[in-house]
Amino acid sequence: MSAPSQHIVCTHCNATNRLPVERVQDAPKCGKCGQGLLTGQVQELTDMNIAKVTQKNDVLTIVDFWASWCQPCLIMAPQFKEAASQMPTVVFAKLQTDRYEQAAAPFNIRSLPTMVAFRGGQAIGRQSGALSAAQIMQWVRSLPA
Ligand SMILES: [Zn+2]
């Protein structure tokens, strides 16, 4: 058996990286473009990469589905950002559903904001409504390992 590794998609260049598990804590960079893969910053997804990120990432990935007209979404945005900075080994990403309507459609988002958690190509949790950073982190920690 080879050393355990996890796939993680670079949201900058779309390359799928194989990351040895022991390097997850180590601010890993993309092997193709050199951008950070786990930076503690919220990554903006588009119609070009959301399918790949949600299907390929073995690393826990939280996607915030939001819209520019949605007040609770705008209220939650800085809280989501704060949670991302506190949990740098988790991928925090967001998709603007009023800009990328087609890309959001397969996820059956019925209310905004909705966060969906993905791991290994599976949606493993879903949470709707604006939460505080502490509530977001509590939800992320409660997800099945
Ligand atoms: Zn890259």
Q: Is 77 helix (H, G, I), strand (E, B) or coil?
A: helix
**Domain 5-142 superfamily per CATH:** Glutaredoxin (3.40.30.10)
What is the full DSSP assignment across 109-144? Answer: --SSSEEEEEETTEEEEEEES---HHHHHHHHHHS-
d(C-alpha 72, C-alpha 80), whole Å: 12
Residue-wise pLDDT for 15-33, tens only, equals 999 999 888 889 999 999 9
Q: How far is the CA of 131 from the centre of ligand 1 (A)?
A: 31
* Ion ligand 1 residues within 5 Å by Cβ: 10, 12-13, 15, 30, 32-33
Residue-wise pLDDT for 37-72, tens only, equals 999 999 999 999 999 999 999 999 999 999 999 999
Nearest Cα residue to 3 out of 17, 24, 19: 19
- Is 33 catalytic? The answer is no
What are the structural domain ranges in the chain? 5-142
Active-site position among 10, 30, 33, 73: 73
- Is 30 catalytic? The answer is no
